Amino acid sequence: MLGGLGGASRDVAATLGLIDEAEWIERGDDAYVDAGGKPSRTVYWEYMHKLDPFAELYTKQLAERGLLEAAKRLAVSDIPAEISALIVTMLEALVDRDRAGPVT
């Protein structure tokens, strides 16, 4: 549930199997620099691929909760109103309203 929030979030969505290769956006090496301005593409993807073991379980859990399609759409949306609505929809499905109590 990340894609509309930035490039790294779309990478997370791709790594978790929420989007296919056609929906992923390749960025140039200049997009991968660390806080010191040094190239970091290799390090970035090493960390990103630490998510690989979680992909199958994550998508399975989303599917079981009826949220897989919403998560896939969220991963590629760039429409703020749609992103907000999808986040609220997903949070509502995940939060037990009876136990959560009032929002303050």
Neighbours of 4 (CB within 10 A): 21
7-21, 23-37, 87-101: which has the minimum mean pLDDT?
87-101
39 phi/psi in degrees, rounded to 5: -55, 140
Domain of residue 79: give its range. Answer: 3-100
pTM (2 d.p.): 0.72
Residue type, 5: L
Amino acid 86: pLDDT: 94
Domain count for the chain, please give it.
Answer: 1
pLDDT higher than 80, residue 95: yes
- d(C-alpha 104, C-alpha 102), whole Å: 6
Looking at every residue in the chain, the average pLDDT score rounds to: 83
Q: What pLDDT digit, counting tens, does each position of 41-80 carry?
A: 899 899 999 999 999 999 999 999 899 999 999 988 889 9
Indicate the pLDDT class of residue 11, thresholds 50, 70 and 90: confident
